[in-house]
Each structure stands twice: as C-alpha cells, then as structure tokens.
Amino acid sequence: MSGHMYEDSGYAASRRRSLATPPPSMTPRHNRARSQSVRKYVPTVFENYITQTTHRASGKTVELALWDTAGQEEYDRLRPLSYPETDLLFVCFAIDCPASLENVMDKWYPEVLHFCPTTPIILVGLKSDLRTKRTCIELLKTQGLTPVTPEQGEAVARRMNASYIECSSKEMRGVDEVFAMAVDTVVSAEEQDWMGTSQNNGTSGKFGGGGGVPRSGNKRVKKRTCKIL
C-alpha cells in the first residue's frame, strides 16, 4: 500500500507502502464500487487500487495503494518480484472453498515465509456471507464438504503466527475492518522499530528525546510494500 501517514503533533512521518494481490472479494473496487459486489471472478495480472483509511489510535490518515498481483501458476516466477521490502502480508482464502484454505499452508504460507520470513501476516477469510447461504451449503454437501468455520480459519492462523479476520464484499461486512487491522499492524510495527532505533541510539523513546519519529524539518521517507495473496 503506497501509504502516506499524516500526524497533527508538529511533525509528519511519510512512508511509501504497497499492498499487492487484493482479491476481488476483499477489494470490491474499494473506491469505485463499494456498494456493488463482484459477481464474476476475472483473474488479474498486475493491477492497483487506491483507498484511504484512518489509523484509529492516532487519527493518522493513510492512503493505501493496493497492488493486485497474479496468483495463477504461470506467474509463480514473476510474483516474487513484488515481495521486497514488504510491511505486511494478507494471505486470503474463500470460506466457500475449503481447498483454498488448504492452499494457504500448502502454497502461500511457504512462499511468503521464504521471501518475507519476518513480515507480519493477516489471514483473511473471504465471502463470509456464503457460510450460511443454503445453495452454498448444499453444493458443498454434494462433495462431502462444508464451508470453512471461523475456528478452522483461526487454527490455521495460529499455525502461521498470524492475525485472523473475515469479510464479505457482497454485504460490505468486515471490509473496512480488514484494512483497519492492516494499518494498525503496520503502524504498531513502525513504532516498535522506531523505539528500538531510539533505544539503540541512546535516546529516550519513540516520541521523545530526538529519536523515534523524525520531525517535520527532517522528514524521513522510506519505500515499503505490503502484499495480499
């Protein structure tokens, strides 16, 4: 997410981030059609979307540029090029497709662990509205399956040492919360980094002493990225 965070405390901290691979069920074209659900999935190669949200604790405004990369096998060699300097990883699965949750541990988690071993992860369950939809339940039943439960999603998240959240773009339920969690996670990680830097430099804390967040007269700009799979 190409992010610029603005504070009202006498200085501004600017960061550049990118969030890649948001599936249609998590970004129902977050800026362009918030009230319209995506009815048909069309595989993407590399697209980007831009939205804004607020960091709830500090009131910072964060602009998110969401980079949608390809998940198809033919792009497996190209996709890792988007991983460097990643701040946050969204790993997503569809609640109406148990196999997609299996793919999280079989494919996506090993891949991100290889390229981004220390990057925070949020596991996102998509299409939460289908969990109780009769047609979905009956269709899965014919295959001897059931929709993924919250407990199943949380169990996988624990194995990944990840946070867990669900959303439905069709009902616009939980979508804003997904991005709010992302911002909270990234800002928290930044503050910890800055506090660690301040302590290492012998300063007095993340907002005090001359360390931590740079003042507006000495603004630090750092390019960062986030990925959604």
Q: 197 pLDDT band (50/70/90 cuts)?
A: low
Burial of 189 (0-12, 13-18, 19+ CB in 10 A): middle
Tell me, what's the pLDDT at 205? 38
Higher per-residue confidence, 63 vs 172? 172
Higher per-residue confidence, 213 vs 54? 54
Taking the C-alpha atoms of residue 136 and residue 96, their distance in angstroms, rounded to an integer, is 7
The pLDDT mean for the chain works out to 71
Tell me, what's the pLDDT at 52? 75
Percent of the chain exceeding pLDDT 90 equals 33
pLDDT higher than 50, residue 139: yes
Find the distance separating the first CA and the last CA of the chain, reported in whole Å: 14
Percent of the chain exceeding pLDDT 70 equals 57
Tell me, what's the pLDDT at 77? 74
Query: Residues 101-105: what's their mean pLDDT?
Result: 95
Element (H, E) at 223: strand 221-223
- pLDDT tens digits for 28-76? 444 444 444 444 445 555 566 777 777 888 787 777 767 666 556 666 7
Domains of the chain, first to last: 5-195+219-228 (3.40.50.300)
pLDDT higher than 80, residue 167: yes
Higher per-residue confidence, 229 vs 102? 102
Which of 104-118, 142-156, 214-228 reaches the highest mean pLDDT? 142-156
Residue burial 20-42, b: 16+ Cβ < 10 Å; e: rest: bbbbbbbbbebeeeeeeebeeee
CA separation, residue 203 to residues 7, 145, 193, 200, 213 (Å): 21, 56, 13, 8, 12
Tell me, what's the pLDDT at 59? 80
Tell me, what's the pLDDT at 102? 96
Higher per-residue confidence, 4 vs 50? 50
Query: Residues 117-138: what's their mean pLDDT?
Result: 95
